Each structure stands twice: as structure tokens, then as C-alpha cells.
Amino acid sequence: MFTGSNNVTMDTKGRLAIPAKIRDALADSCGGRIVITAHTEDRCLLVYPEQEWAELQEKIAALPNMNAKARRIQRLVLGYATPLELDSNGRVLLPQTLRDYAQLEKKLILVGQNNKLELWSEALWNSWVDEDEPEGDIPDAVSALSL
């Protein structure tokens, strides 16, 4: 559903205008109701259409909270989850806590990830893109993928 990347700008009050193509897709899929939360591994935000979030929220809440890694995921993803609705101009007001977590300033990148979007600081996105590949084993599903 969501693909591509878009340069977007946030004003000094924390308002972000969603690009028309994405705004239309959000209007069709969820009436403009979204949930924005923290990514657990990267300093960016995850933007979910309301129904996608509802499915994910149940799965995260069901994780065993006696496990430290599961508890971290629950605290970050559920703790930062903020329901928002696009206004009549296709904008959302990002709470300061989310802006601080993702180190968001004026210039941002909105990146489609199929069923959700990622919202990055332009500077953090560019540094991530320029990073060397992470060390570790490549999952079989990735090794078998042909681009």
C-alpha cells in the first residue's frame, strides 16, 4: 500500500503535512485515523493506519512481559503509541515526546513500508543510508530473494 519516499517539512509547532498521494491512501483505508509510535531499533517513528495498528497492538500486548526484550518492545511501541487524525488540510500535530524520540526537526523523510510508513529526521535517514551493512547472518528468506 505505501511505497516510495517523500521529503516533508515540519513547522515549528510540530505540524506535518502528509503528501497528497499518501493522504488519499490513508483517507481511503482508515478515514485519516492513524497511530504513530516509536521504532524499537532505529530512531524513527512508525505510522500505522488505525486498523493495521489494532492488529499489531494485540500481538505486542500478548508478548511475555517477563522477557526483557519483549518488555522493551512493549514499553517503546505501546508506550509511545499516539492516535492522531489528519486535519482538513492533511496535517497531523506530532507530540513533543515523539519528536524528541526520533530527533525530528524541520526536514523529514516519510518512507513507505507496505502496510505502514516510517518517519525519519532527514539527517538520521541520510546517515542510516550511508552506513555499512550490519554484521551478522543473513536470514534464508533474504538470501533467497531476487531483486
The DSSP output letter for 139 is: P
The DSSP output letter for 74 is: I
pLDDT at 47 over 90: yes
Q: pLDDT of 83-105, one tens digit each?
A: 999 999 999 999 999 999 999 99
The DSSP output letter for 2 is: B
Per-residue confidence (pLDDT) for residue 146, from 0 to 100: 65
Per-residue confidence (pLDDT) for residue 86, from 0 to 100: 95
Query: For the chain, what percent of residues have pLDDT higher than 90?
Result: 85
List the 107-112 sheet strands across, edge first.
5-9, 107-112, 117-121, 45-49, 33-38, 82-85
pTM for the model stands at: 0.91
Q: What are the φ and ψ backbone dihedral angles of 65, each rounded to 5 degrees?
A: -75, 0
**Structural domains in the chain?**
5-132 (3.40.1550.20)
